[in-house]
Amino acid sequence: MKLDENSIAIIRHLRDGRKSFKAIADDLSLSENTVRQRVKKLVDEDVLEISGLVDPEAMPDHTVCMIGVKLDTLNLVDKAKEISALKGVVSASVVTGRYDLMLVVLLKEDFNLLDFYTTEVYRLKGIRSVETFVVYKGYNLKVPYVY
């Protein structure tokens, strides 16, 4: 789907997912129905997903980690998809650089980093090494709640 200026403007307005179609339409000088149809098309084509995000720093007993993963396989996309289904994983991305994948993981008091490695990552084949980066302070760090 090709995104035009109106679709991009609508997406920007939806940073606040609670903003009404009428308010967006009024601001962009479009009809409310046009905004509604554009949003539906963006969602139907998997360009846009409207969801609630949380600030993990505002949630007691939650921690965000970024994990660099080196693999023994060149099947990076399938491995990223497999890892993205693990408990606690917010996102798994195929990247360039010293790692093959970068993960964002949300942990909580009763499912900590040790639990993540020993119950989730342990059962996967093809992982050569991992390096964990605990996020102590993040700016504009909002994640979907995965539990």
- Give me the residue label for tokens 């693999």: 71
Give pTM, 2 decimals: 0.77
Provide mean pLDDT across the span 46-64: 86
Same domain membership, residue 71 and residue 35: no
Provide mean pLDDT across the span 6-17: 91
- 83 part of a folded domain: yes
What is the length of the chain? 147
Same domain membership, residue 79 and residue 126: yes
Q: What whole-number distance in Å separates Cα of residue 21 and Cα of residue 37?
A: 10
Q: What whole-number distance in Å separates Cα of residue 140 and Cα of residue 147?
A: 21
Same domain membership, residue 60 and residue 39: no
Same domain membership, residue 120 and residue 83: yes
- 143 part of a folded domain: no
For residue range 79-135, list pLDDT tens digits in order. 999 999 999 999 999 999 999 999 999 999 899 999 999 999 999 999 999 999 999
Same domain membership, residue 65 and residue 37: no
- 146 part of a folded domain: no
- List the domain range (segments joined by +) for residue 61: 56-135
Task: Report the CATH number that the domain containing residue 110 is assigned in CATH.
Answer: 3.30.70.920
Same domain membership, residue 65 and residue 88: yes
